[in-house]
Amino acid sequence: MTDDKLKPLREQIDAIDAQLLDLLNRRARVAQAVGHVKAETNAPVFRPEREAHVLQKVADNNGGPLHSGDVQTIFREIMSACRALERRVNVAYLGPAGTFSEQAVYQQFGHAVEGVPCASIDEVFRATEAGTADFGVVPVENSSEGAINRTLDLLLQTTLSISGELSIPVHHSLMTGSGNMEGVIRICAHSQALAQCHTWLNQNYPRIERQAVASNGEAARLASEDPTTAAIAGEIAGQRYNLGVVKAHVQDDPHNRTRFAVIGRLQPTPSGRDQTSLVLAVPNKAGAVHNLLAPLAKHGVSMTRFESRPARIGTWEYYFYVDVEGHAQDDKVINALAELKQNAAFFKVLGSYPFSLY
């Protein structure tokens, strides 16, 4: 009876799917043509400002009932597949497979990319600088634990630019091979993850040893090989290593998120909704930080982030990591940066890139 009613509706869906498939392949052929034009001039395959534009347009034009965020996810994957016909881009990230960094790669580039898992954040920078990878994805900041210092230090020295940013929700689970805690004598995770679950662990497993390891993916791998080890990691890492969930959502903050930067040689052109990241240092004298930032207000440039990091030269001097709204090619940003540079003892533009949708 139900099936009788479903049959004509499913026939409609089949007919629409056939049209969608045809349209998708028409789009793909145009992307191939774009690829040929780019190949002639050696132009970059991945254009984040153009992809940001396409995603903004589909959200603006979306008449529903599909949610705009879901439509954007679909179009992210369509563009990823089309881009892969031009060339599959390689993206380095903090591995092993199954980490939140890998999830961030797919959220930014879609799934039609070649992920290059690296053993450390340093190696992500090295692989991208050496050209083994076209881009790298590195964690910059966690909403509970603050800045990822190693990334900030490496950004200071690198010849690469920031060409994008994104943030993803970070939910941790406690997992073991058996799915329970019997016989478990240690809980492994990356030090950031242990810190993000600190209160929960103190309340629930105060007597079990905690061991920091290179990544949550590595913790999941260890737990899969040793019944006395539990891992704290994302569920994707747990699935990859066949772990059972003892308890989901063990992070202290339910809204825990991590922000990632995309690093590469590409310097995106203005998309209309951009952000610029800078590093600055000031001479060590009274009022210096205030003077340093005054040009931003003067030229109407909003600051969206301000982070300090010791210069580690033995004195109380700091590098300031500053994000501002706008692209380094926008007139008011050009003027503000020129003045900032005059007052700064150190000045580096890390990159201008489209504002993240996430």
Ligand X SMILES: C=C(O[C@@H]1C=C(C(=O)O)C=C[C@H]1O)C(=O)O
Residues lying near ligand X in the complex (CB under 6 A) are found at 31, 34, 46-47, 50-51, 54, 79, 82-83, 86
Q: Residue 242's closest CA among 172, 171, 179, 182?
A: 179
Residue pointed to by tokens 């993850």 = 193
Contact 166, 106 (CB under 8 A): no
Shortest separation between residue 159's beta carbon and ligand X, angstroms: 23
Active site residues: 258, 260
DSSP structural state of residue 283:
-
Q: How far apart are CA 5 and CA 12, in angstroms?
A: 12
Q: How far apart are CA 135 and CA 113, in angstroms?
A: 11
- 11 Cβ contact list (under 8 Å, min separation 6): none
Q: How far apart are CA 137 and CA 93, in angstroms?
A: 5
Alpha-carbon separation of residue 108 from 60, 199, 275, 296 (angstroms): 20, 32, 16, 29
Shortest separation between residue 34's beta carbon and ligand X, angstroms: 4
**Which residue, 78 or 152, has its beta carbon nearer to ligand X?**
78
- 208 Cβ contact list (under 8 Å, min separation 6): 184, 185, 186, 187, 201, 230
Shortest separation between residue 43's beta carbon and ligand X, angstroms: 8
**Which residue, 47 or 190, has its beta carbon nearer to ligand X?**
47
**Which residue, 53 or 247, has its beta carbon nearer to ligand X?**
53
Shortest separation between residue 51's beta carbon and ligand X, angstroms: 5
**Which residue, 79 or 162, has its beta carbon nearer to ligand X?**
79
Max CA-CA distance within the chain? 82
Shortest separation between residue 176's beta carbon and ligand X, angstroms: 41
Q: Residue 96's closest CA among 197, 257, 240, 249?
A: 240
**Which residue, 53 or 171, has its beta carbon nearer to ligand X?**
53
Centre a 10 Å sphere on the Cβ of residue 312 and count the other Cβ atoms it contains.
10
Q: How far apart are CA 350 and CA 296, in angstroms?
A: 17
Q: How far apart are CA 49 and CA 265, in angstroms?
A: 15
Hey, which residues does 138 pair with through a beta bridge?
261
**Which residue, 68 or 291, has its beta carbon nearer to ligand X?**
68
Shortest separation between residue 341's beta carbon and ligand X, angstroms: 32
Q: How far apart are CA 194 and CA 252, in angstroms?
A: 10
**Which residue, 48 or 238, has its beta carbon nearer to ligand X?**
48
Shortest separation between residue 263's beta carbon and ligand X, angstroms: 17
Contact 146, 334 (CB under 8 A): no
